[in-house]
Structure 1
Amino acid sequence: MATWRPDPSFYPSPRMAAKAPRETLAYVAAFDPDRQRPDAIAVVDVAPASPTYSQIVGQVEMPNVGDELHHFGWNACSSCLCPNAPHPHVERRYLVVPGLRSSRLHIIDTKPDPRRPEIVRIIEPSEIAERANYSRLHTIHCGPEGIYVNALADRNGNAPGGIFLLDHDSFDVLGQWELDRGPQKLAYDFWWHLGHDTMITSEWGTPDTFENGLVPEVLLGSKYGRRLHFWDLTKRKHVQEIDFGEEHQLVFELRPAHDPTKAYGFVGCVISLKDLSASIWTWYREGDKWAVKKVIEIPAEPADPDLLPPVLKDFKAVAPLVTDIDLSMDDRFLYVSCWGTGDMIQYDVSDPFAPKETGRVRIGGIASRASHPKASNGALNGGPQMVEISRDGKRVYFTNSLYGAIDPQFYPEGIDGWMVKLDVGDNGGIGFDENFFVDWPKGHRPHQVRLEGGDCSSDSYCYP
């Protein structure tokens, strides 16, 4: 009798996932902003007892130049245990790594040697264009029907962007996900409430409005993304749009509650045209519709114009620029990256409509240039950007680069990459792990972090 067993890193519920073994490795996307050398997935040792703790211990280089690795994800996760679409015998083994600029997909095997991952398949942009009519690949999620990939544009770089599916086993491109997209044109992030059969998508812009940097006329004209879209996940049909209004630009990162019985989540808005503030909003069910409420506003900070890049000089202030958020597995703490001011803020969101700040650290920042206990070069640039939380909620990792063409608009001298780790108190509160600082090798900048065995933005669950 065969004894097939699900991957031990799959958990039916977030509560069980929080008891998972501690991660020992992190995988980090690193790209060359000058597009002169190949991008890579770096492997960082995150086991404190290891002699190579806080060091890059392996990497796999892409075969081409200029991919702009950005976001990536696992081929399979805890959603494989869902009763409506079970795939219990798939392994969390492969990293699915898209190039945001090249539209090329890399399938990377971590199983034979997790410190020396290997590329086992490359899906060229022509195949994606032919089968799904999309390009500019952005986010990966493993889900009920396969591997979901979103794209910011069609094959020619125009709207609409959207989502396509890859087969769990063969990695073949199956085709476009949307059957009825309604009014949706722009794309950015996507996530879902499996327990409520709902997908949510957010918006950025078309490639001509970001590939050479943010365009001031587009921003001030309120033409970047400012809407959320809600979809019937099974019928693949658009059901509702919420417009945040002209003042709000760049409605970006989506973090739904992990508990599948809860129908709420958080989204960050990068900037307000009124006063440069950033904001966090909660989406929730109101009767038979979805609604949003602003629950956090982070103001801009006055600053000496001499310390500011040209784009901010006239405002005499640093915009917080909330560019990423992440939610702990127990849905208690929300982490908010303020890439402009250099703050990483922890909020208790046990009540999703009344967050309370419980911790804050500062590192980098446009005007502050705050350092780190282990940094040898003093003033640091860049700021908290892509953030990832361990499954038990005790450790928070983050890096400092946003996007190749946008980094120099806010940090004109360029960004020297780094990765840091915070330790989390039992009842909140955060502080730097003074022994963890990865001074990123020159020529690459680090972006998204994925943790061995899963993390707080990889998996979705079907049981509370």
Structure 2
Amino acid sequence: MPRIRATPSVALAAPLCAALLLSMGPAFADETCQSPYMAKITGVEDFVYVWTLGVEGLGDGSDKLVTVDARENSPTFGKPIHASSVGGRHEAHHGGFTDDRRQFWAAGLSDSKIFIFDVAADPAKPRLVKVIDDFVEKSGGAAGPHGAYALPGRMLIPSLSNRDGTGRAALVEYSNEGAYVATHWLPTDAAPGGARIEAKADGYGYDARVLPRRNVMLTSSFTGRENYMRPLGDLMKDGEAMKRFGQTMVLWDFHTRQPRTVLNVPGVPLEIRWAWGPHHSYAFTSTALTSKLWLVHEDEGGAWRAKEVADIGNPAMLPVPVDISLSADDRTLFVDTFMDGTTRVFDVSDPHKPRQIYEKTIGAQLNMVSQSWDGQRIYYTSSLLANWDKIGPENEQFLKAYSWNGKELISRFAIDFTAERLGRPHMMAFGAASLYTD
């Protein structure tokens, strides 16, 4: 039976932490994109939690956290077995577990609500226990909470926007109990906060990830509410609006939460994935509008640099890279592209010279990818944003599961979320049925 291995809610000595994670690699089942501060699942995941956008006329029409049975010996394997509705549609987007993994925090982009689910009491049936509905007020004007990233005893909430709907964003901290702690605004040209600026500081935000042993946090950039809530077709015809997208990543001093360097990364860098190796001081991101793979790395002199390292598909065709997943051994990177519904696998054993080794069309549209720590199971979802998903027959809404043998993806199961009247599946997280014990 899978178990939850508790991780101390304090920053571990980095070399010890990294060595521990890697030495136990094959035993872990958890996603490779998780926070290093978070408790990890050992054994094979029992459930996949899917944060799902509601669709008018499908079921109750509300956003919901859907539990999918991933136990291969179960009579309901590969099927949705529970849905915890939050009431209404809030543009369900990203979320994450607290460091002790007892709660799952899920964010709504449209009205800045954060929904907190108890997953410890019954992991097969997460239960909504709290709603944070004053995020904008408490944060001092941040809006559009993008997700939740576990820190020791706290949750880090990157925002995409602010109360004015523009792009300047913030990092907002809450306690695990849901109490507001602090707001850290992203640097701009007018308010750099002491950061060195390579080209410009646009203030946009998106993802936030920490490399504890180097005391650094990296953030990426997207766009403001005035853009991400518009229909994609209208937005792409608006030349001025298309200029209002992120072109930067920020390297922060993690302990002080002070920005150190604003890196020039044009083309809208989205998801950030730090390497796990104890001597690997680098991260990958992909740029949505230029279809490039970027490496952010520490050079021999201790300075942090960002550089393009590979094309993703044909950039001229605008495949729109969205999500990426780095394997636990830092050797392979899965990259999803929304417009052509394709996942590509890159050999990144030399992070400065990635090379594509495989590709597969998953569906008419494709968004997120979650990979198990042992690298043997891969999960995909389809929805990007309610106003950006395709229409008509190409509006496929699915969760698909595959096995990966190092050479090809082999189908395990697929769920049509429209046929199941559940909505638009966005992000995924893994769950376990065992008690939360050491």
The TM-score range, normalised by the shorter chain, is 0.7 to 0.9
Q: Which amino acid aligns with 2:413?
A: F
Q: Aligned residue for 2:93? A: 70
Q: Post-superposition shift, 1:131?
A: 4.0
Q: Post-superposition shift, 1:413?
A: 5.0
Task: Classify the secondary structure of the residue corresponding to 1:72.
Answer: strand
1:271 to 268, 280, 289: 289
1:270-295 deviation per Cα after TM superposition (whole angstroms, max 9, x unaligned): 122xxxxx111111112232112212
Summarize the Cα distance change of 1:193–1:321 in structure 2 as closer, same or farther, 3 Å threshold. same
1:295 to 301, 309, 312: 309
Q: Post-superposition shift, 1:60?
A: 0.4
Matched-pair contact (CA < 8 Å) for 1:196–1:260: no
1:442 to 416, 421, 433: 421
1:431 to 391, 398, 409: 409
2:399 to 397, 416, 419: 419
1:395 to 357, 377, 390: 377
Q: Post-superposition shift, 1:50?
A: 1.3
Q: Post-superposition shift, 1:318?
A: 4.2
Matches within 5 A, 1:280-291: 280-286=293-299, 287-291=301-305
Task: Classify the secondary structure of the residue corresponding to 1:251.
Answer: coil
Task: Classify the secondary structure of the residue corresponding to 2:325.
Answer: strand
Q: Aligned residue for 2:13? A: none
Q: Distance in 1 between matches of 2:323 and 2:84?
A: 25
1:44 to 41, 58, 68: 68
| TM-score (norm: length of structure 2) | 0.82
Tell whether 2:252 aligns with 1:231: yes
Q: Distance in 2 between matches of 1:193 and 1:265?
A: 9
Q: Distance in 1 between matches of 2:382 and 2:135?
A: 33
Q: Distance in 1 between matches of 2:26 and 2:173?
A: 28
Q: Which amino acid aligns with 2:312?
A: I
Task: Classify the secondary structure of the residue corresponding to 1:195.
Answer: helix
Q: Considering only aligned residues, what root-mean-square deviation do their CA atoms show, in Å?
A: 2.5
Q: Distance in 1 between matches of 2:280 and 2:388?
A: 35
Summarize the Cα distance change of 1:7–1:438 in structure 2 as closer, same or farther, 3 Å threshold. closer
Which has the larger displacement, 17-26 or 445-454?
Answer: 445-454
| TM-score (norm: length of structure 1) | 0.78
Q: Distance in 2 between matches of 1:415 and 1:299?
A: 22
Q: Which amino acid aligns with 1:194?
A: P
Q: Post-superposition shift, 1:259?
A: 2.8
Q: Post-superposition shift, 1:321?
A: 1.3
Tell whether 2:319 aligns with 1:337: no
Q: Aligned residue for 1:360? A: 359
Q: Distance in 1 between matches of 2:56 and 2:226?
A: 18
Tell whether 2:128 aligns with 1:119: yes
1:23 to 23, 40, 45: 45
Q: Distance in 2 between matches of 1:438 and 1:138?
A: 25
Tell whether 2:211 aligns with 1:193: yes
Q: Post-superposition shift, 1:162?
A: 1.2
1:111-154 deviation per Cα after TM superposition (whole angstroms, max 9, x unaligned): 22111111111111x25423443110102110146110111122
Summarize the Cα distance change of 1:452–1:9 in structure 2 as closer, same or farther, 3 Å threshold. farther
Task: Classify the secondary structure of the residue corresponding to 2:109.
Answer: coil
Matched-pair contact (CA < 8 Å) for 2:106–2:147: no
Summarize the Cα distance change of 1:112–1:453 in structure 2 as closer, same or farther, 3 Å threshold. closer
Matched-pair contact (CA < 8 Å) for 2:167–2:225: no
Q: Aligned residue for 2:178? A: 171
Matched-pair contact (CA < 8 Å) for 1:346–1:430: no
Q: Aligned residue for 1:459? A: none
Summarize the Cα distance change of 1:320–1:131 in structure 2 as closer, same or farther, 3 Å threshold. closer
Quote the sequence identity (%).
Answer: 24
Summarize the Cα distance change of 1:120–1:326 in structure 2 as closer, same or farther, 3 Å threshold. same
Q: Post-superposition shift, 1:262?
A: 1.9
Summarize the Cα distance change of 1:204–1:388 in structure 2 as closer, same or farther, 3 Å threshold. same
1:43-80 deviation per Cα after TM superposition (whole angstroms, max 9, x unaligned): 001111211111001110003x121111110011xxxx
Q: Post-superposition shift, 1:392?
A: 1.2
Which has the larger displacement, 174-183 or 39-48?
Answer: 174-183
Task: Classify the secondary structure of the residue corresponding to 2:63.
Answer: strand
